[in-house]
Amino acid sequence: MGHLEAGWQRGDFHGRWIVDTFVDDVMACGARGIISEPFTNYKVIAQRYENCFIAGEGDNRVLMRNDADEIRVMVESMVETGKMSGGYMMCIGNHIPFNVPPEVIKDTWICQRNWPTDKVTES
């Protein structure tokens, strides 16, 4: 039994960079999920831990390039991961820097909101 399950409040783990190498240890302590940066393999975590919360798969480098097709592919991947997980937050894990044009951010969120879920394959 992990420390968090032994009477402590359960929580989420907020990590920097790649958490793949120690996600098992964090989850063994009783964490409900992982919030990290886009370098983490979120699909593997979603498949390995049923109903875990994950966030941070979005990548600001995609936003910085301002390529509508690349943004759509990123959103599609995020929606796919979300359908694999018990809890998912659409999140730019490496944060949105000040110099990303506001139109790009707006377009990204509109793309996420309007993504037809019937295009995403069930896992």
Contact 86, 34 (CB under 8 A): no
CA nearest 114: which of 79, 84, 81? 79
Q: What is the pLDDT of residue 116?
A: 58
- Report how far residue 111's alpha carbon sits from residue 25's, in angstroms, rounded to the nearest whole number: 35
Task: Pull the structure tokens for residue 38.
Answer: 């886009």
pTM: 0.76
Task: Pull the structure tokens for residue 28.
Answer: 């063994």
- Report how far residue 70's alpha carbon sits from residue 49's, in angstroms, rounded to the nearest whole number: 28
Query: In this predicted model, what pLDDT tens digit does every residue of 75-94 receive, in sequence order?
Result: 999 989 988 888 888 889 88
Q: What is the pLDDT of residue 120?
A: 43
Q: Which amino acid is at 41?
A: N
Spatial CB neighbours of 46, under 8 Å, sequence gap ≥ 6? 52, 54, 81, 84, 85, 88
Q: What is the pLDDT of residue 11?
A: 54
> Poorest-confidence range of 9-18, 65-74, 84-93?
9-18
- Residue 2: count other Cβ atoms within 10 Å of its Cβ: 14
Q: What is the pLDDT of residue 31?
A: 83
Percent of the chain with pLDDT over 70: 79
